[in-house]
Structure 1
Amino acid sequence: MRWLSPFTTLPRDSRDTLFLLAVIAWVVLPQVGNLPLWCAGLAAGVLLWRGWLAWRSRPLPSRWWLLALLAVTLAATWATHKTLLGRDAGVTLIVLLLALKTLELRARRDAFVVFFLGFFTMLSNFFFSQSLLTAAAMLIALLGLLTALVNAHMPVENKAPLREAARIAGGMALLGAPIMAVLFVLFPRMAPLWGVPSDAMAGRSGLSSQMEVGTMASLALDDGIAMRVRFDGRPPAQTELYFRGPVLSLYDGRVWRPQYSDFARRADGDLQVSGPAVNYQVTLEPNNRPWLLTLDATPLPPTLPGNLGAVMTPDLQWLASRPISDLTRYQVQSYPQFRYGPQRPNLSLQTFVDLPPGFNPRTLQLAAEIRRAQPGANTAALVHTVLQRLRSGGYTYTLDPGVYGRDTADEFWFDRKEGFCEHIASSFVILMRALDIPARIVTGYQGGELNGVDGFWMVRQSDAHAWAEVWQADRGWTRVDPTGAVSPGRVGSFTRLQAPRGIVGNTLATVSPDVAKRLRAAWDAMNNGWNQWVLNYSQGKQLDLLKNLGFSSPEWEDLGKVLAAIVVLASLGGAAWAQWERRQHDPWLRLLQAARRKLQQAGLAVPDNAPPRQMAALAQDHPAIHDWLLQLEAQRYAPHTPHSLATLRRGFKRLVWPH
């Protein structure tokens, strides 16, 4: 290729250095979004500087430059992270140390240090993402680093080693793949030694523990996967897929907060379920929150992996014993038909009618007017009246309602008449409380999208939703979704929220929406398979595998025993195969074996393990055979013998063997 001609004319050392710098850039590139801006810029500048020095065959900078850059690196890392320890600070340092080490790449020893840092930096990518895309990128990085490592061992006089080095590196990776597969399946996963470290303060997109009007619109624009759900049998209707998250009951005029925040408090025991159960499996993405998203209502704890426990709060929310920082899969049994909460009025319901004084005076006036217009109306009739106002009052559903002021409910009901689900749910609950009806807000996810490729329902962050629950006598808490009255398509399968697409996504959607949808479904199915079979491969699955192998009550020590047995058997098998292959395929040994058979057929007592010199001594009465056997010995053991195997093979055919 013409564009490669300047590269091919460079000296071997410069070409090798540029290739290694390209591999390092590929290793660091996925980290750019997780690094401080100054770190990414400094690393890129150092790599470009080192590449220019290699291209121009310029001398490397002095050690004073390196010490100065190292001091800047340490100071900037401390100023950014306030520490030199931990995941974020550690990754920042390792990336910059890798880049700085290339500035003293003078000898093979320095190259080996760069290779070591490169492999470590490659692994650090999984600290932030374990997605299929990250794994594919790191596989390419692994092959690149192996190619550079093999290339560093090749003779300097070899002018074009990269292709050959890549072939050898690819073979090494293929030979190592079965070993890695066995280690992945059987290496004991013992917490906390096994797993990807995660910092407690690292935030992830998801629902919040409180709701301030206007904060959930940005979440709706996130198209990332929140969880995947697979139902056993026929799933509920999409309009019934309400996955329960934090329940918000306390209101100070601006912010809604949950009433229960501790794990020790359990539900009061007045949950009654009926009808058929819905069994399903949830694969929850990490969110650093303890929330276990389930359908209403779930009386029994979800079946969680390992020693993870769960407890239900008095408002039917399930909480894990620790934040979900890793991909977590659990089984759930829910009952769509249920009754929950006190059946008659009591003092505990007072919390759910409290409103802060001095807020939303026009909403309070509206509640008084509704009461005067419907004296003696029960809760169901008042809820119907408010929902009818939402349907016919010109209210609209929008992701961009603007910034609300102090009296959010007044602005929604009388001024703006538009909002996102949080505006609608908050204004509805405030009006219910003004009508002296106990009400609260429930946040979570509503709906989802069925992936026809693998049969999983994908619930995205854009499916985040807020709805209401009102209390009715003889029925308890009842779900009411006022957003459905404003925009029926938001609840169900008609109109799902769409996050902004990239250039490729917009192009595909414009050219062929069906192709874009199928490609997206296939990609989501591949990611789900990666999550189910790789990221979610836990110690429980390992022990299940041992049960299938015949272990009655396996423990993690049994995994070590099975792994050790496989290693021993594989080693013995490899040694036996290597010995057999050497005897079968070594042309020198085959030629020696042919000569041995000829002498044995002539009646000479030639041992099966006799070397050429011993055989020559037995055949000294036949000078031609004697000399040929010594030449055969020299071909294998002499450093500069003129005899090739082809010449000896032709000579073997011309020999006259005794009978």
Structure 2
Amino acid sequence: MLTRLSTLPREARDTLFLLAVIGWVVLPQVGRLPLWCSALAAGVLVWRGWLAFTSRPLPGNWWLLGLLAVAIGATLLTHRTLLGRDAGVTLIVVLLALKTLELRARRDAFVIFFLGFFTMLTNFFFSQSLLTAAAMLVALLGLLTALVNAHMPVGKPPLAQAAKTASWMALLGAPIMAVLFVLFPRLAPLWGIPSDAMSGRSGLSASMQVGNIASLALDDSIAMRIRFEGPVPPQSDLYFRGPVLAAFDGREWRRQASRLDAGLAPRTRAPADLQVFGSAIRYEVTLEPTNRPWLFVLDAADQKPELPGYELTMTPDLQWRTDRPLTDIVRYRATSHVDYRQGPQRATAGLRDDVALPAGFNPRTLALAAEIRRNPRYANADTAALVGVVLARLRSGGYTYTLEPGVYGPNSADEFWFDRKQGFCEHIASAFVVLMRALGVPARVVTGYQGGERNSLDGFWVVRQSDAHAWAEVWLAGRGWVRVDPTAAVAPGRIGTLARLQAPRGFIASAIGGVSPDLALDLRAMWDAMNNGWNQWVLNYTQSKQLGLLKNLGFDSPSWEDLSYVLIGIIVLVSLCIAAWTLWERRQHDPWLRLLESARTKLRESGLDLAPTTPPRQMADAVQLRFGSAATALAQWLLQLEAQRYARNPHGSLATLQRAFKQLHWPR
């Protein structure tokens, strides 16, 4: 096979290389394209490669028209339109593949090159990760290599030579790209794309069915990164607050505000009444896209987080919400206190929603609550004592913490307390809140993230989707809403340490971890640090960072005009440097050859046109023959010029000959 490839004609070899590059460009899109599109593109590329390998003729126009009609019809059937991101990318991929069936002349190759560059950019419509950028850098070098190779029409130059030239081109263009990236004005974060690009993002939602957070624990992707400005709180205090769920219909927990969405009458909500104590904790969060309109902050943030470009409001349950979904990586600064008090100190009408339970669900849990209330020891017990009773039951009742508790039915609290006795954090929190409400205690479920791990390479705390957590809050008279994490009663290792239930790892990760657990952790930390650097300095390089850069350069109140001035100044400076380098390079050329060329130019103006390769002695003979004795001095000067170059002991220096050249009489 390799022997056959080495003996292929240049046209076939170049075609196979170009097809391989196109396949590499399209490969990251396979999981996002319709199945028919991926199959059609792969089939066309393989077909075209077989035609090149076997030196067979290309198909006729009727084949192309038929395949094009099928592609357009399938696109309309799949996307219901030919416009938009998804339909447009589908068509671009199909057209790129079909164009290879017309690859007859260099002009056709150029069309494929530019279609390939455009298709390469469409990968960033879906993902801007470091891995995608690295893959597209390889694709860029491949397309540049094919483009350079197409401009080498003679012979059969090796592809390595074209690849070397393409690499130098990319390297020379890198400084220009870097300057434009840093200074070119932008109105949004890099790779700003329509919001439909963010569909299907994983993460916490505004509702919780028992079992859906357990599915997040199977996702090891990063949810956010945190950089603390001072001492880091104990890991047991790292609760990052998300949606607070107080409405329960027996199957699903939802935000209380969803009553308005359902068209039900609104009820009075208890105000936040937040009071903070102790020292403030300042930190910066880099949040991955969630397509949700809320921020995650360390409990509890009394000050508005700093997120330019967004309007932020705090709900009565201490959740910070944005005016639109977060469809890009965002970075915000926040200030929190882990010692705080929230909610009303005395019972109010707004707390009635937080004791409501749907009728007809969890009868055994209701009976358990009634049994506890009938116990003389707890007949007049306060809320704190009732919480202690329920937590004691969790500690001593044989309950376990697991990712695979099985499928729960509609009476999820009954199943947890009496049947299965096992569950993930949301099973435990939901059952706990249902029992507390049955006891007449206002309670609600809070979702978010708990814990995280510090990356020793860059110092950032990494919070993953697997750190998603659900806990409870109960209302205590005189204290307001108080966090209670029932999962800590079942599995103390889940809170305050790095102990987590881990999803099954892939073959490679398992192999590395089996050989050297420390190596697996180091590789993971290194990859996380690289991704974090990419997010911090590339994807999150926003207009505020541009203006901040100008401020560091000495601008008091930087604006877009200042940014334009700096960019123009750099362009002028670079142009002057290039001009200076050009002059220097010209001076580095052989001054003897420049002087000889000047003499040849003067003779040409006098009517004596000599070949560029004519040496000085032959030039002197031609001058004597053409102009006679009138050109004796000129002929002597040419002979001296030759001697200065080739004589063992030349008389006079080149500078002397240059001065004599200016005094010579040139015959007409």
Task: Give the TM-score normalised by the residue count of structure 1.
Answer: 0.90
Distance 1:348 1:443, change over 3 A: same
Larger displacement relative to structure 2 (195-204 or 83-92): 195-204
Larger displacement relative to structure 2 (104-113 or 328-337): 104-113
Counterpart of 1:11, as a letter, is P
Matches within 5 A, 1:328-347: 328-347=330-349
Q: Is the 8 A contact 2:425 2:487 kept in 1?
A: yes
- Residue of structure 2 aligned with 1:47, choices 28, 45, 48: 45
Counterpart of 1:334, as a letter, is S
- Residue of structure 2 aligned with 1:268, choices 264, 268, 271: 271
Residue number in structure 2 paired with 1:561 = 565
Matches within 5 A, 1:177-256: 177-191=174-188, 195-199=192-196, 202-256=199-253
Residue number in structure 2 paired with 1:653 = 646
Q: Distance in 2 between matches of 1:630 and 1:222?
A: 87
Structure 2 residue 271 is matched with structure 1 residue 278: no
Matches within 5 A, 1:380-391: 380-391=384-395
Structure 2 residue 629 is matched with structure 1 residue 627: no
Q: Distance in 2 between matches of 1:479 and 1:88?
A: 44
Structure 2 residue 373 is matched with structure 1 residue 402: no
C-alpha deviation, 1:615, in angstroms? 9.3
Residue number in structure 1 paired with 2:104 = 106
Q: Is the 8 A contact 2:210 2:427 kept in 1?
A: yes
Residue number in structure 2 paired with 1:57 = 55
Q: Is the 8 A contact 1:283 1:330 kept in 2?
A: yes
Residue number in structure 1 paired with 2:515 = 511
Q: Distance in 1 between matches of 2:644 and 2:59?
A: 61
- Residue of structure 1 aligned with 2:161, choices 159, 164, 184: 164
Q: Is the 8 A contact 1:628 1:651 kept in 2?
A: no
Q: Is the 8 A contact 1:150 1:169 kept in 2?
A: yes
CA displacement 1:560-587 (0-9 Å, x = unmatched):
22212212221232133223313313x4
CA displacement 1:459-506 (0-9 Å, x = unmatched):
000011111000000000000011111111112214123233222211
CA displacement 1:283-317 (0-9 Å, x = unmatched):
00011111100011101110113x21211011100
Q: Distance in 1 between matches of 2:226 and 2:292?
A: 19
Q: Is the 8 A contact 1:267 1:313 kept in 2?
A: no
C-alpha deviation, 1:255, in angstroms? 0.9
- Please, which runs of 5 or more residues in structure 2 have no aligned partner? 262-267, 624-640, 658-668
Residue number in structure 1 paired with 2:311 = 309
Structure 2 residue 541 is matched with structure 1 residue 543: no
Q: Is the 8 A contact 1:352 1:438 kept in 2?
A: yes
Counterpart of 1:469, as a letter, is E
Distance 1:6 1:194, change over 3 A: closer
C-alpha deviation, 1:339, in angstroms? 0.6
Larger displacement relative to structure 2 (508-517 or 542-551): 542-551
C-alpha deviation, 1:631, in angstroms? 10
Q: Distance in 2 between matches of 1:539 and 1:459?
A: 26
Matches within 5 A, 1:494-533: 494-533=498-537
Counterpart of 1:278, as a letter, is I
Distance 1:323 1:654, change over 3 A: same
Distance 1:615 1:565, change over 3 A: farther
Residue number in structure 2 paired with 1:583 = 587
Larger displacement relative to structure 2 (534-543 or 76-85): 76-85
C-alpha deviation, 1:4, in angstroms? 3.3
Q: Distance in 1 between matches of 2:16 and 2:493?
A: 56
Q: Distance in 2 between matches of 1:577 and 1:132?
A: 36
Residue number in structure 1 paired with 2:468 = 464
Q: Secondary structure at the match of 1:579?
A: helix
Q: Secondary structure at the match of 2:224?
A: strand
Distance 1:298 1:187, change over 3 A: same
Counterpart of 2:254, as a letter, is R
Distance 1:294 1:629, change over 3 A: farther
Task: Give the TM-score normalised by the residue count of structure 2.
Answer: 0.89
Distance 1:330 1:615, change over 3 A: farther
Matches within 5 A, 1:428-447: 428-447=432-451
Q: Is the 8 A contact 1:252 1:355 kept in 2?
A: yes
Q: Distance in 2 between matches of 1:534 and 1:630?
A: 68
- Residue of structure 2 aligned with 1:90, choices 85, 88, 91: 88
User: Identity of counterpart residues, as a percentage?
Assistant: 67
Residue number in structure 2 paired with 1:645 = none
Distance 1:91 1:631, change over 3 A: farther
Length, aligned pairs only: 623
Q: Distance in 2 between matches of 1:330 and 1:273?
A: 21
4+ aligned runs moved over 6 Å, structure 1 = 615-619, 629-632, 648-651, 655-659
Structure 2 residue 364 is matched with structure 1 residue 367: no
Q: Distance in 1 between matches of 2:21 and 2:137?
A: 12
Residue number in structure 1 paired with 2:327 = 325
Counterpart of 2:435, as a letter, is L
Distance 1:389 1:269, change over 3 A: closer
Larger displacement relative to structure 2 (195-204 or 545-554): 195-204
Distance 1:266 1:252, change over 3 A: closer
Q: Distance in 2 between matches of 1:579 and 1:612?
A: 26
Q: Is the 8 A contact 1:616 1:627 kept in 2?
A: no
Residue number in structure 1 paired with 2:303 = 300
Distance 1:611 1:416, change over 3 A: farther
Q: Distance in 2 between matches of 1:497 and 1:233?
A: 30
Q: Distance in 2 between matches of 1:413 and 1:121?
A: 55
C-alpha deviation, 1:81, in angstroms? 1.8
Q: Distance in 1 between matches of 2:351 and 2:620?
A: 104
Matches within 5 A, 1:109-148: 109-148=107-146
Q: Distance in 2 between matches of 1:554 and 1:631?
A: 69
Q: Is the 8 A contact 2:272 2:317 kept in 1?
A: no
CA displacement 1:346-372 (0-9 Å, x = unmatched):
111000000011111100000001111
Q: Secondary structure at the match of 1:33?
A: coil
Q: Distance in 2 between matches of 1:228 and 1:650?
A: 75
Distance 1:649 1:62, change over 3 A: farther
Counterpart of 1:464, as a letter, is A
Q: Distance in 2 between matches of 1:579 and 1:132?
A: 41
Distance 1:568 1:375, change over 3 A: same
Q: Is the 8 A contact 2:289 2:328 kept in 1?
A: yes
Q: Distance in 1 between matches of 2:112 and 2:608?
A: 55
Q: Distance in 1 between matches of 2:247 and 2:470?
A: 15
Q: Is the 8 A contact 2:125 2:191 kept in 1?
A: no
Structure 2 residue 481 is matched with structure 1 residue 477: yes
Q: Secondary structure at the match of 1:292?
A: coil
Q: Secondary structure at the match of 2:544?
A: helix
Supply the RMSD in Å over aligned alpha carbons: 2.7
Counterpart of 1:299, as a letter, is D
